[in-house]
Structure 1
Amino acid sequence: MSKNRDDSPLPRFQQPRYGVDAPAFPATLGAVGAACCLAAGRWRSGRSATVTAGTVLLASTGIYLHTTLHGKLRIWRRELDQAGLKGDEQLLDLGCGRGAVLIEAARRLPTGHAVGVDLWSGKDQSGNRPEVTLANAAAAGVADRVEVRTADMTALPFADGSFDVVTSALAIHNIPSSEARYRAVDEAMRVLRPGGRLIVADFWPMARKYAAHIGQGTLRGLGPGYWYGGPWLGVTLLHAVKGR
């Protein structure tokens, strides 16, 4: 059985398991929606509005769960297929979590290498631990080309120009201050080689700000498959190329 850096046995999965993004959010959304629907049966006044509110909240919960469990995975598979990877790239995934993007990228790098960095917050993703990411890589058959590191996106432990591609999925916005978020984007650009590509998916206001900060890049909405409850929490893809 594979081991982690502490030499303790890794979990063993038949298939990768990527967990739920920000698990407290859909749990709260669903609980409030259910409570509204139950309360409507007891109240006469405002019953219609309460039922409507409960229905909207439950529908939003369903959309959220579809995105985090299925939609984002399909979209990242499509985006990585369209990225034109040669297969020998050095790739860095910022805020890799349990490896959804990291592992899909590694599948496309038979002679390359994929490194994921994270601070492993369970608040941002359920069951977020490096040994789970490594177990997912083993289940996907790419453990030989995947590495995980505990590292802060705002101070990456890599030399300038270390990577051909830097990816990130719904991670940079978790950094509390705008100054630190921009520092993470700057770090991503620093570790890219000239001509390397930055591919970041984040909520649309954030993605716009990242593009404005670096003064370049194309922005494209990723559609309903990447809605966290509805279009008000839709995700945009930023694609930028580092100048030579």
Structure 2
Amino acid sequence: MGLGKLLHHHEEHADAGGTIDHPRAYEVLASIGFLGGRRAAFTRLAAAAGPRAGDRVLDVGCGTGYLSRVLAPVVTADGHVTGLDPSPAMIEYAARRAPANCTYVVGVGEDPPFPDGSFDLVVSSLAVHHMPVEARPEAVRQMFRVLRPGGRLLVAEFRPPANRLARHLVGALSGPAMRHDLRDLLGSLVPDAGFEVESEGELPGLLSYVRATRP
């Protein structure tokens, strides 16, 4: 049994979805997985999202709040970052470490409890693969709904190593949910939800991302 499976609740295979309910163990595993480069990888990811001072940001599948805490000083005290995650344990962990301009809410990506056009920027990192496959299209549509016109989207996911042995080791650690390619995972979900895709890219730390805007 992989360490990733031990962290998850009700995840049997890559399409089933599930939550991570052990935040401290997740933080340890994440540090190992990024080989000490987690901060640098997420700083570059945050820069790719293009946050601006005063932005209202939604972090879908925020987990322990790591990315939201990187974004918080960039949007300044005039902005705000809201984290959304289905795991109460992760939300509790994130809330205890929240900067003044961050709040955290228990909820699922396919049914976020926010009005239309509430945010300037929506980000989601290493989260879509945890959603049940049938929920993913609605989750992306909801990202579109809660963005204002002209709002920006950045979705980042794990990029499996090219080396076969490395892929096997990652699979043993993470379980089947992270054995995917970003293009296979998102497919046409982003444009089908109404977004205009601006770019796709790769970052150190085995991350890939797609960046888009709401017309």
Aligned to 1:115: 82
Instruction: Choose which of 178, 183, 207 in structure 1 pairs with 2:182.
Output: 207
Q: Which runs of 5+ in 1 are unaligned?
A: 1-22, 29-62, 122-127, 227-234
Instruction: Choose which of 167, 179, 182 in structure 1 pairs with 2:123.
Output: 167
Aligned to 2:150: 195
- Over the aligned positions, Cα root-mean-square deviation in angstroms equals 2.7
Aligned to 1:220: 201
In 2, Cα distance between equivalents of 1:130 and 1:148: 6
Note the alpha carbon deviations across 1:95-114, whole angstroms, 9 max, x for none: 11111101111121211010
TM-score normalised to structure 2 length? 0.68
Which protein shows a greater Rg?
Answer: 1
In 1, Cα distance between equivalents of 2:140 and 2:201: 18
Higher relative contact order (CA 8 A, sep 6+): 2
Task: Please state which structure has a larger fraction of its residues in strand.
Answer: 2
Shift of 1:214: 2.6
In 1, Cα distance between equivalents of 2:107 and 2:30: 28
In 2, Cα distance between equivalents of 1:203 and 1:76: 12
Aligned to 1:38: none
In 2, Cα distance between equivalents of 1:96 and 1:200: 12
Aligned residues: 167
In 1, Cα distance between equivalents of 2:134 and 2:35: 31
Q: In the alignment, is residue 24 of structure 1 matched against residue 24 of structure 2?
A: no
Summarize the alignment of residues 1-244 of structure 1 with structure 2, pairs less than 5 Å apart: 24-25=3-4, 65-68=31-34, 70-110=36-76, 111-120=78-87, 128-137=89-98, 142=99, 144-176=100-132, 178-204=133-159, 205=180, 207-208=182-183, 209-210=185-186, 212-215=188-191, 216-217=196-197, 218-223=199-204, 225-226=205-206, 235-243=207-215
**Could you tell me whether the CA contact under 8 Å between 2:49 and 2:123 is conserved in 1?**
no
In 2, Cα distance between equivalents of 1:132 and 1:151: 15
In 2, Cα distance between equivalents of 1:179 and 1:26: 21
Note the alpha carbon deviations across 1:26-61, whole angstroms, 9 max, x for none: 989xxxxxxxxxxxxxxxxxxxxxxxxxxxxxxxxx
In 1, Cα distance between equivalents of 2:31 and 2:48: 25
| Letter of the structure 2 residue corresponding to residue 112 of structure 1 | G
TM-score normalised to structure 1 length? 0.60
Q: Which runs of 5+ in 2 are unaligned?
A: 8-28, 160-179
In 2, Cα distance between equivalents of 1:155 and 1:213: 16
In 2, Cα distance between equivalents of 1:190 and 1:174: 21
What is the identity percentage for the equivalent residue pairs of Structure 1 and Structure 2? 31
Aligned to 1:11: none
